[in-house]
Amino acid sequence: MDTMRDEKRKAIPAIGFYPQEEISTGTTLIAMEYNGGVVVGTDSRTSAGSFITSRATNKITPITDNMVVCRSGSAADTQAIADIAKYHIDVYTMTENKPVTIYRSSQIFRQFLYNYREQLSASVLVAGWDEELGGQVYAIPIGGFVSRQRSTASGSGSTFVQGFLDSQWRPNLTLEECKAIVKQAVGLATFRDGSSGGVVRLAVINKAGSQFELFRPDKPGFPFVQTPTPHLSFPPHIEQVL
Amino acid sequence: MTSFTGITAVANATNEMAMFKQAMKEVAAHPEWMSSRQIERQRWNPYSMEGGSTCAISGENFAIVASDTRMTQNDINILTRDAEKIQILNDNIILTTSGFYGDVLQLKKVLQSRLHKYRFDYRSDMSVDLCAELLSRNLYYRRFFPYYTGAILAGIDEHGKGAVFSYDPIGCIERLGYSASGAAEPMIIPFLDCQIGHVTLSEGYERPELTLDRAISLMKDSFRGAAEREISTGDKIHLVIAEAGKPVVVKFLPLRED
Amino acid sequence: MATADVKSTVPHMDMDRGGAFDFSNCIRNQAMCKMGGKAPKLTSTGTTIVAVAFKGGLVMGADSRATAGNIIADKHCEKVHKLTESIYACGAGTAADLDQVTKMLSGNLRLLELNTGRKARVITALRQAKQHLFNYQGYIGAYLLIGGVDPTGPHLYMCSANGTTMAFPFTAQGSGSYAAITILERDFKVDMTKDEAEKLVQRALEAGMHGDNASGNSLNLVIIEPSETVFKGPIVPEFCKRPEPNDLVYKFQAGATKVLKHKTYKYDVVESMDITH
Q: What is the pLDDT of residues B97-124, one digit of tens each?
A: 999 999 999 999 999 999 999 999 999 9
pLDDT reading at A137 higher than 60: yes
**C-alpha–C-alpha distance, residues B99 and B48, integer Å:** 8
- Residue C62 to residues A51, B248, C48, C199, C224, Cα–Cα distance (Å): 21, 44, 6, 13, 14
pLDDT reading at C26 higher than 80: no
**C-alpha–C-alpha distance, residues B230 and B187, integer Å:** 9
Amino acid at the residue A32: M
Nearest to C164 among A3, A14, A19 (CB): A3
**C-alpha–C-alpha distance, residues C83 and C106, integer Å:** 4
Structure confidence by residue, pLDDT tens digits, A139-176: 999 999 999 999 999 999 999 999 999 999 999 999 99
Going by pLDDT thresholds of 50, 70 and 90, the confidence category of residue C115 is very high
Position A235 scores a pLDDT of: 80
Crossing angle, helix C24-34 and helix C2-9, to 10 degrees? 100
Q: A53, A78, A87: best mutation site toward chain C, by most C Cβ within 10 Å?
A: A53
- ipTM value > 0.85: no
Q: Of the given ranges (A12-26, B27-41, B129-143, B232-246), which has the lowest mean pLDDT?
A: A12-26
Position A5 scores a pLDDT of: 45
pLDDT reading at C133 higher than 80: yes
CA nearest neighbour of B244 among B63, B55, B66: B63
Q: Which domain holds residue A25?
A: 20-215
Round the average pLDDT of chain B to a whole number and report it.
89
Is A78 a catalytic site residue?
Answer: no
Pairing of strands C153-159, C142-150: antiparallel
Tally of domains in chain A: 1
Contact A47, A26 (CB under 8 A): yes
- Provide the CATH number for the domain around residue A63: 3.60.20.10
Extents of the domains making up chain B: 11-43, 53-254
User: A200 pairs with which residues across the strands?
Assistant: A215
pLDDT over 70 for what percent of chain B?
A: 90
The Cβ of residue C1 has, within 10 Å, a number of other Cβ atoms equal to: 9
Q: C7, C10, C30: best mutation site toward chain B, by most B Cβ within 10 Å?
A: C30
Position B40 scores a pLDDT of: 56
CA nearest neighbour of C181 among C208, C160, C150: C208
Catalytic residue among C45, C47, C165, C229: C47
Q: Under an 8 A CB cutoff, do A10 and B32 touch?
A: no
pLDDT reading at A233 higher than 90: no
Crossing angle, helix C122-135 and helix C95-116, to 10 degrees? 130
- Please give the CATH topology (third level) of the domain spanning B53-254: Glutamine Phosphoribosylpyrophosphate, subunit 1, domain 1 (3.60.20)
The secondary structure of residue B159, as a DSSP letter, is T
CA distance, residue B220 to nearest chain C CA (Å):
8
In a domain, residue A1? The reply is: no
**C-alpha–C-alpha distance, residues B97 and B110, integer Å:** 13
Q: What are phi and psi of B163, to 5 degrees?
A: -140, 140
Nearest to C26 among A9, A14, A46 (CB): A14
Cα-to-chain-centroid distance, residue B112: 20
**C-alpha–C-alpha distance, residues B34 and C11, integer Å:** 10
Contact A110, A103 (CB under 8 A): no
Show the domains of chain C with their CATH numbers: 45-236 (3.60.20.10)
In a domain, residue A27? The reply is: yes
Going by pLDDT thresholds of 50, 70 and 90, the confidence category of residue A8 is very low
Position A232 scores a pLDDT of: 73
Going by pLDDT thresholds of 50, 70 and 90, the confidence category of residue C148 is very high
Q: Where are the alpha helices (DSSP H) in B83-159?
A: 101-122, 128-141
Query: Could you tell me the strand order of the sheet in which C219-224 lies?
Result: C170-173, C49-54, C57-63, C219-224, C229-235
Going by pLDDT thresholds of 50, 70 and 90, the confidence category of residue A19 is low
pLDDT reading at A116 higher than 60: yes
pLDDT reading at C51 higher than 90: yes
**Chain B neighbors of C260, CB-CB under 8 A:** none
pLDDT reading at A20 higher than 80: no
Amino acid at the residue A44: S
pLDDT reading at C9 higher than 50: no
**C-alpha–C-alpha distance, residues C60 and C65, integer Å:** 16
Q: Is A11 on the interface with B (CB under 8 A)?
A: yes
- Residue A241 to residues A226, A231, B34, Cα–Cα distance (Å): 19, 11, 57
What residue ranges in chain B does DSSP mark as E strands?
53-58, 62-68, 71-73, 77-80, 86-90, 93-99, 149-156, 162-167, 173-176, 178-182, 236-243, 249-254
CA nearest neighbour of B235 among B31, B44, B52: B52
What residue ranges in C18-122 does DSSP mark as E strands?
44-45, 49-54, 57-63, 66-68, 71-74, 80-84, 87-94
Give the predicted TM-score (pTM) of the model: 0.80
Structure confidence by residue, pLDDT tens digits, B43-73: 677 888 898 999 999 999 999 999 999 999 8
CA distance, residue B150 to nearest chain C CA (Å):
17
User: Scanning every residue of chain A, which has its alpha carbon at the shortest distance from the alpha carbon of C31?
Assistant: A14
Alpha-carbon Rg for chain A, nearest whole angstrom, is 20
The Cβ of residue C78 has, within 10 Å, a number of other Cβ atoms equal to: 15
- Residue B4 to residues B1, B22, B190, C59, C127, Cα–Cα distance (Å): 9, 18, 22, 43, 39
Interchain CB contacts (distance < 8 Å): B and C: 148
**C-alpha–C-alpha distance, residues C237 and C207, integer Å:** 11
In a domain, residue A2? The reply is: no
Contact A210, A65 (CB under 8 A): yes
Position A15 scores a pLDDT of: 55
